[in-house]
Structure 1
Amino acid sequence: MPTAIVTGATGITGNAIVRHLVQDPTYTKIYTLSRSQPGIQDARVEHACLDLQNSAEEMADSLAGVSADYIYFCAYLARDDEDEGARVNGALLSNFIQALEMTGAAKRIKRLILTCGFKYYGVHLGLPKQPLVESDPALEDGLGGYKWPSNFYYTQKKILEDAAAKGKWEWICTLPNDVIGYAKHNFMNEATALGLYCAVSKALPGSQLIYPGNKLNYLLFNCWTSAELHAKFCMWAATAPGAGNNVFNVANGDTESFQNLWPRLAERFGCTIPKNMFNPNTTKHFAAEATDTQLKFNNPISVHAVSMGISDDPTTTRSPVLQLPIDPQKWAQRDDVIQAWNKLKSSYNLDQAAWDKATWGFLTFVLGREWGCVASMSKARKLGWTGYEDTWETFERTFDVLEKEGIIPPIEQLRNDFQ
């Protein structure tokens, strides 16, 4: 009968994994590790307070008596500086594994599943080659003759490979994208920021839902990952024959676009979409909130330029741009927007922390980029993975949860109160 350890158990991906482990009666023990509240209550769940920033020796003390067959590592620390991000997140994983080696728990490990993301492909730097496939080369310094920034996913993958070879256990890296889900007191979630943007737009005069990003972004294709589907994938990957020592894309399985999602958002929140949404006259009221940011590095597709036969295309060498008629970070600081939020908060008893901690900056990036992020799921499919979720249904389910948790207003009341 299997046992599990989940780090970052109160985050969106970790929380979903714990919930799905609890639903599986074959798991006899589930250790949840985090710095904060215990989270899910179940007779088989045992919580241990663990600060992954501690030394291996300090963690070993906290992990005394904790061991499991499968480890789901979902913790990470965001850092603006890429070198610092690689150093800090590499240390989190390395010290944790060393702590398990010190306690003897590492001898029991069968597989360690590490949650990473599409940043593995450099999608945060610019246009990548698509579809994204797991065999694409890592953008390590010098590839293609370019100087690439550090990437903590590469650092962590190397740590995993070395530790697994030494301990004779297996590793897996999952690559989800723009994860949609919910975890209590955790607002690092695209659905939260989008839901708040839509709700406040409904409460503003005219109830217009203007797309904050650029027109190219609106028309591009992307893929998203449900936290629920990712959890199911991780549990599948933990035991699937032949899955060990591999990197896997984990996306819902459909290909979506805001040209399809935005009208659905408008309908759900009772807003209208302007007839000419990308006309400068439509967004002139928000002119002070526009953003045009030049990024620092070449588009990642540049490393494939020669093999693709596009080495003379300027796209491969020019630095990408984030361009938004309305930057959500600036929009959230407007006086009229704050007043509308305060009205919603008092009317529906909403959580102020959701507004304060919403990932406006991430939404600025997601809606401002001029490239899509579409990944192939073929590698996992060939090994037997059949999971699928409809992305719009994932958003709707998450919005329902956000309503119940007092993060966004009850939709029917909102629509009736702001007709």
Structure 2
Amino acid sequence: MKKIALIVGSSGIIGSNLAAELISSRWETYGLARNPNTENSDLKPIAADLLDLENLKLALKGVRPTHVYITTWMRNETEKENIRVNGLMVRNILDALSANGSVEHVALVTGLKHYLGPFEAYAKEGFLPETPLREEHPRLDLENFYYAQEDEVYAAAKRDGFTWSIHRPHTVIGKVVGNAMNMGTTLAVYASICKEQGRPFIWPGSAAQWNGLSDVTDARLLAQHLIWASTTDAARNEAFNVVNGDVFRWSRLWKRIADYFGVEAVGYGTHIEPLEREMANDAGTWHKIADKYKLKENQLSRVATAWHTDLDLGRPIEVMTNMSKSRKLGFLVYQDTEDTFYELFDFYNYRCKKIPAKQNRWMEVYSASTKDCINYARMVSSQRIQVRCSPYFR
């Protein structure tokens, strides 16, 4: 039977990487967003407002997905409003598709706020869970829009008979423009500003995060996990943590990132140095950098989200997750976290000109085609640049 995917939130960091993975696996793939990404010509874009049920029904007329991937959310002023808006978005998309009877599986992406609490009480004393985080950890006695989204999926599954999976990644690292949860890009932009101005690359987070163990989630690995869970019988009706599979300490990785950009790393001192404060006056600086190096995006707010990076790096406990549940059921994909960051930085340096390029003697080429790599190597040979292929789009 033909597999037809509908990605809700196809322009985001998760949705865009999922679209690339599905299309490479020959799925018929639709991407729904308020402003759909049209960079991937094989993705069938659908523009719609998730808060308008009638608009959704009209936009989805004739679309009969077998698999629905919900990868988006909307931040609001209060958690009460987060619950109302984000619960409604999930309810509307599933109600709009209900009459079709085509949906076999719904995958919902949430995250570690399931364990750590909502924005208003994020990682606060009295609600700190035991780590490594495990899927069986009970819900916190707090209002949380993740719980509301899950409950909408459970109710629709009971009504319509589809299976479901819940995916809880840690911080997602991957390529995308204008995403509100993109630590990788934020750190690259911050380091580029430090390099340009001769500033130190100052650790913005807590002592616990600096010294403790942590993990992250590569967006490409998350895409593979979403497809695996939605097509594996043993993974039906289950919730999963999703991370790279290794652990690291920021006390090491921060210095490695600094070395990549050629800046001086400064670790934790005596207190938190929020990145939002450190970058508060950098909008004009970034505009000048973008003009100087002919970068594609000169608006700092489009490429860096310091508030979210502060939220992650300022937590008072080490945060890492247990992935045994997925491993036992057969998902064995692994991704080295340092490579996750380096490959993302290389992509931004050389492929899409989002940050100033390094003067390296080798270059990453991200392509599924060996022929494309060879052709590109010939093109840059006069610059004495060696080419190394990397499977970013595979």
> What TM-score does the superposition give when structure 2 sets the normalisation length?
0.84
Is the contact between residue 252 and residue 388 of structure 1 (CA under 8 Å) also seen in structure 2? yes
Indicate yes or no: 2:74 matched with 1:77. yes
Across the aligned residues of Structure 1 and Structure 2, the Cα RMSD in angstroms comes to 1.9
Matches within 5 A, 1:219-230: 219-230=211-222
Q: CA 1:167–1:262 in 2, change beyond 3 Å: closer, same or farther?
A: same
Indicate if the aligned counterparts of 2:67 and 2:103 stay in contact, CA closer than 8 A.
Answer: yes
Secondary structure of 1:412's match?
coil
Unpaired segments ≥5 residues, structure 1: 141-147, 281-322, 414-419
Q: In the alignment, is residue 341 of structure 1 matched against residue 286 of structure 2?
A: yes
Residue 36 of structure 2 corresponds to residue 37 of structure 1: yes
CA contact (8 A) 1:19 1:40 kept: no
Q: Is the 8 A contact 1:212 1:328 kept in 2?
A: yes
1:181 aligns to 2:174 (yes or no): yes
The equivalent position to 1:61 in structure 2, one of 35, 53, 58, is 58
What does the per-residue CA deviation read over 1:202-245, in whole Å, with 9 as the maximum and x for residues that have no partner? 2223x422212233321111110000000000011111122111
Equivalent of 1:92 in 80, 89, 92: 89
The aligned residue for residue 161 of structure 1 is: 154
Give me the whole-angstrom Cα distance separating, in 1, the residues matched to 2:322 and 2:186.
27
**Contact preservation (8 Å) 1:251, 1:375:** yes
Asked whether the 8 Å contact 1:354–1:407 carries over to 2, the reply is no
1:62-102 residue CA offsets vs partner (Å, 9 max, x unmatched): 1110111111111210123111101100000001111112x
- Seen in structure 2, the aligned counterparts of structure 1 residues 223 and 239 have a Cα distance that, compared at 3 Å, is same
Aligned length: 350
Does the 8 A contact of 2:221 with 2:334 survive in 1?
yes
> 1:110: which partner in 2?
104
TM alignment of 1:234-249, pairs within 5 A: 234-249=226-241
Matched residue type, 1:41: N
Letter in 2 for 1:157: E
Structure 1: how far apart are the matches of 2:77 and 2:335? Answer: 32
Question: Counterpart in 1 of 2:205?
Answer: 213
- CA deviation map 1:177-211 (0-9, x unaligned): 11001124436310111111111112223x42221
Normalising by structure 1, report the TM-score: 0.79
Could you say if the C-alpha distance between residues 233 and 46 of structure 1 is closer, same or farther in structure 2, counting changes exceeding 3 Å?
A: same
> Is the Cα contact below 8 Å between 1:209 and 1:271 reproduced in 2?
yes
Give the letter for the 2:278 counterpart: W
Whether 1:191 and 2:188 are equivalent positions in the alignment is no
After superposition, give the CA deviation of every residue in 1:269-328 in whole Å (9 maximum; x if it has no partner): 111235xx4456xxxxxxxxxxxxxxxxxxxxxxxxxxxxxxxxxxxxxxxxxx51x221
Q: What SS does the aligned partner of 1:10 have?
A: coil
Letter matched to residue 358 of structure 1: A
Percent identity (aligned):
30
User: By how many angstroms is 1:374 displaced?
Assistant: 0.7
Match of 1:266 among 247, 258, 273: 258
Matched with 1:359 is 305
CA contact (8 A) 1:203 1:340 kept: no
For residues 339 and 257 of structure 1, do their structure 2 counterparts lie closer, same or farther at Cα, with a shift above 3 Å needed?
A: same
Are the counterparts in 1 of residues 286 and 299 from structure 2 also a CA contact under 8 Å?
A: no
Distance 1:161 1:169 in 2: 10
Change (3 A) 1:49 1:260: same
Check the 8 A contact 1:11/1:186 in 2, yes or no.
yes
Match of 1:202 in 2: 195
TM-aligned CA distance change 1:215 to 1:185, over 3 Å: closer
> Using CA pairs below 8 Å that are at least 6 residues apart, which structure has the higher relative contact order?
1
SS of residue matched to 2:353 = coil
Structure 1 residue 401, shift from structure 2 partner: 2.1
The amino acid of 1:381's aligned partner reads R
| Contact 2:287/2:299 (<8 A) preserved | no
* Higher CA-based Rg: 1
SS of alignment partner, residue 108 of structure 1: coil
2:165 maps to 172
CA distance in 2, matches of 1:70, 1:156: 17
> Aligned equivalents of 1:390 and 1:357: distance in 2?
24
Amino acid at match of 1:36: N
- Structure 1's 187 and 279: CA in aligned 2 closer, same or farther, altered over 3 A? closer
Please give the secondary structure, in 2, of the residue aligned with 1:271. coil
Q: CA deviation at 1:38?
A: 3.9
Shift, 1:406, TM fit: 2.7
The gaps in structure 2 that reach 5 residues or longer are 361-394
SS of the residue aligned with 2:248? coil
Tell me if the contact between 1:134 and 1:248 (Cα under 8 Å) persists in the aligned partners.
Answer: yes
**Paired residue type of 2:293:** Y
Q: Of 332, 351, 357, which residue of structure 1 is paired with 2:279?
A: 332
